[in-house]
């Protein structure tokens, strides 16, 4: 499997299926693991980093569960391809910064992604479309069990799994849910909701996780602490919070329909019109406009609407690295803006 093969494949988190997929884009479970008696990545020298990388790659190759995965060493991946992987949520922006003794292991369905030598030796993630944290947990728990048969993880009974960042110690688990909350933003309730989330010790980030701001009305919500709680407790806590947010977003959507329908229809149809006719468009503007069209489609107020999967796909393939991969060459910022508009117009004509 080559990186280019992913261009013709819809990522798991973009399928637009699963429970509450009108509001919940995706659910992700991530586990942080480190090898026993090995220096954490930020302390390891070149030789130590290489030993860890080779040990993890060997453990993956030994197990038939991973037969449909491919390992990409970042030393062999150029800048555009790294950004391509970040845009597909298969690795973090931090992982892309330095390449030495780093790799990412991905399965063909893009459900499983394993970052090697990021902040920890292993960052294992499983993504599912819609509100599916427990299903993601079932998959990743199996992966963790399989890898632990081949690798000895750093673990202490009183602390649990040892991690580079203390907030990940214990279970080493981070559960996160990507939400589309345009109605809460439009009704100016989002700041109140985000303040309540922070008080409950949950983190809110943007579309690409840590260090990114919310755009296109997308918010990624995750637990901040893994120590002192079981995996099931962490997931239940996240689920309880997400159910409340889903309810509030639904209430805000109904309020817009009943009290400000003309304003809502105007915003949605203007967004749709710009996307259909623009010849130059930026990535940020595209995300904002697609967000409104997605809301309009979900509420049935766009006369001729794309399906949710197509809208989700446009969020991805209009990103800078994807445009360059599609064109098979590097593009300037203006060239990307022109190509992006052309791609959107073509997609909308097909619908």
What SS3 class is residue 202? strand
19-49 burial: b if 16+ Cβ within 10 Å, else e: ebbbbbbbbbbbbbbbbeebebbeebeeebb
In the chain, domain spans: 3-253, 261-350
First to last CA, the chain: 30
Output the pTM of the full model.
0.91
The pair of three-digit structure tokens given for residue 278, joined into one six-digit string = 């623009």
Helix/strand/coil for 330: coil
CA distances from residue 190 to 22, 29, 93, 284, 340 in whole angstroms, order as listed: 18, 25, 26, 20, 30
CATH class entry, domain 3-253 = alpha beta
Q: What is the pLDDT along the chain (351 residues), one digit of tens a residue?
A: 788 888 887 787 788 888 999 999 999 999 999 999 999 999 999 999 999 999 999 999 998 889 899 999 999 999 999 999 999 999 999 999 888 999 999 999 999 999 999 999 999 999 999 999 999 999 999 999 999 999 999 999 999 999 999 888 899 999 999 999 999 999 999 999 999 999 888 999 877 555 455 667 999 999 987 778 899 999 999 999 999 999 999 999 999 999 999 999 999 999 999 999 999 999 999 999 999 999 999 998 876 667 888 888 899 999 999 999 999 999 999 999 999 999 999 988 755
Dist. CA 324–CA 272, nearest whole Å: 24
């Amino acid at each position: 499997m080559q990186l280019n093969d992913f261009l013709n494949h819809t990522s798991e988190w973009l399928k637009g299926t699963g429970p509450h997929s009108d509001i919940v884009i995706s659910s992700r479970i991530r586990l942080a693991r480190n090898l026993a008696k090995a220096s954490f990545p930020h302390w390891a020298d070149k030789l130590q980093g290489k030993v860890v990388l080779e040990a993890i790659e060997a453990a993956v190759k030994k197990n038939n569960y991973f037969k449909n995965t491919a390992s990409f060493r970042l030393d062999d991946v150029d800048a555009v391809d790294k950004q391509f992987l970040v845009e597909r949520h298969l690795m973090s922006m931090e992982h892309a910064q330095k390449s030495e003794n780093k790799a990412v292991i991905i399965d063909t369905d893009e459900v499983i992604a394993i970052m090697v030598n990021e902040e920890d030796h292993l960052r294992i993630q499983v993504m599912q479309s819609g509100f599916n944290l427990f299903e993601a947990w079932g998959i990743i728990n199996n992966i963790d069990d399989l890898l632990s048969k081949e690798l000895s993880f750093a673990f202490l009974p009183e602390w649990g799994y040892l991690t580079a960042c203390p907030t990940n110690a214990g279970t080493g688990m981070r559960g996160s849910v990507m939400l589309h909350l345009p109605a809460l933003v439009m009704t100016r309730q989002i700041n109140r909701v985000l303040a309540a989330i922070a008080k409950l010790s949950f983190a809110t980030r943007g579309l690409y996780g840590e260090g990114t701001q919310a755009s296109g009305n997308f918010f990624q919500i995750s637990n901040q602490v893994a120590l002192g709680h079981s995996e099931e407790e962490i997931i239940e806590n996240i689920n309880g919070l997400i159910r409340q947010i889903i309810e509030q977003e639904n209430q805000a959507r109904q309020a817009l329909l009943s009290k400000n329908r003309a304003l809502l229809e105007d915003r949605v149809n203007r967004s749709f019109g710009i996307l259909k006719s623009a010849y130059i468009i930026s990535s940020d503007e595209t995300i904002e406009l697609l967000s409104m069209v997605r809301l309009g489609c979900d509420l049935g107020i766009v006369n001729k609407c794309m399906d949710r999967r197509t809208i989700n796909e446009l969020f991805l393939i209009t990103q800078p690295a994807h445009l360059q991969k599609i064109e098979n060459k590097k593009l300037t910022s203006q060239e990307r803006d022109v190509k992006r508009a052309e791609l959107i117009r073509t997609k909308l004509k097909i619908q």
